[in-house]
Amino acid sequence: MLYSPRFDNATGRSASAMPDPYRPRTAPKKHIMSGTTPTILALSSTVAAGHVGLSAIVPTLHLIGRTAIALPTITLSNHPGFGHVSGIQTPPETLLTMIDALEQNGWLANIDTILTGYLPSAAHVNVASTAINRVRALNPDARYICDPVLGDDPKGLYIDATAANAIRDDLIPLADIALPNRFELSWLTGTPVASPHDAITAARKLPQTRQCPRIIAKSIPSGTDQICNIDITRNTATSITIQTLEGVPNGTGDMLSGLIAAGWSLPRATAALTSVINASLGENHLAIVPAADQWRNATALPAQPL
């Protein structure tokens, strides 16, 4: 039987001449992530429902006009704090091949900032280190923001100790800014942290401080029903105090790290976070998108020198 090509009734064109959606495309002639828009490469967890990890970072960045390239270290149905959860880690080898593809397409060279969050194993920490070094080989001015997601109060350490040690020993020395919470700062330094003074002392005891010039200590106890975020360098420290509230959804630390990675000051970022928290109290998830107009325009909170 002779081959008779089908015709598309709408166009009159031979089906064999129609564009093939599965045909491999050639590499773009122009970088789709080039230009003046800041681009952040983020490695962390992602969830199908809710706003934690990349699922908080990416919409936050998009809503303030930043471009995000997201590499998920683990994909979950939702935050593990809910009754049921399912998901799977992304194999480190897969992440490395994704980084290869991004570089081959010319997109690593356009990255201004790298942000790391949840890294579930030492092998994932190695992937992060590889990504940082490869980006900086192409753009030596690229900043690295390390959110050392190790654990929290009251649960304590919730990643493998080998991974936690690798974050401390291999990633924090590469960072321009590290953002530990109270538990993480205490764990990283082996120092009790129960007050702003303790946090400053601990941050300045980090053996990596010379390489990591700025520590943002999050959720530090600061009086009755108050916590503070403290911006700490070797010679300065400023604090922004906020009220503790009940019914706050998960993901606040991820949103804060995204705003810091985008270049927002700590007073402005904390004001935005306070705004979205107030819009989310009692809800399952942060109202990052519904409350965008409020938090994007929140007035920076006052910072007090310590």
> What is the average pLDDT across 15-24?
45
Topology (CATH) of 37-292: UDP-N-acetylmuramoyl-L-alanine:D-glutamate ligase (3.40.1190)
> Is the pLDDT assigned to residue 222 strictly greater than 50?
yes
Say which range, 32-41, 111-120, 160-169, has the weakest mean pLDDT: 32-41
> Is the pLDDT assigned to residue 32 strictly greater than 70?
no
- In terms of pTM, does the model score above 0.75? yes
> Is the pLDDT assigned to residue 41 strictly greater than 80?
yes
The two most distant CA atoms of the chain are separated, in Å, by 87
Confidence of residue 212 (pLDDT cuts 50, 70, 90): confident
Kindly list the domain boundaries of the chain, sorted by start residue. 37-292
Q: Which residue has the higher pLDDT, 1 or 189?
A: 189
Q: How far is CA 274 from CA 154, 177, 218, in A?
A: 22, 21, 13
Q: Which residue has the higher pLDDT, 29 or 33?
A: 33
| Rounded percentage of the chain residues whose pLDDT exceeds 90 | 82
Say which range, 31-35, 42-46, 207-211, has the weakest mean pLDDT: 31-35
> Is the pLDDT assigned to residue 160 strictly greater than 80?
yes
User: Of 123, 206, 116, 189, which Cα lies nearest the Cα of 162?
Assistant: 123
What is the per-residue pLDDT for 154? 85
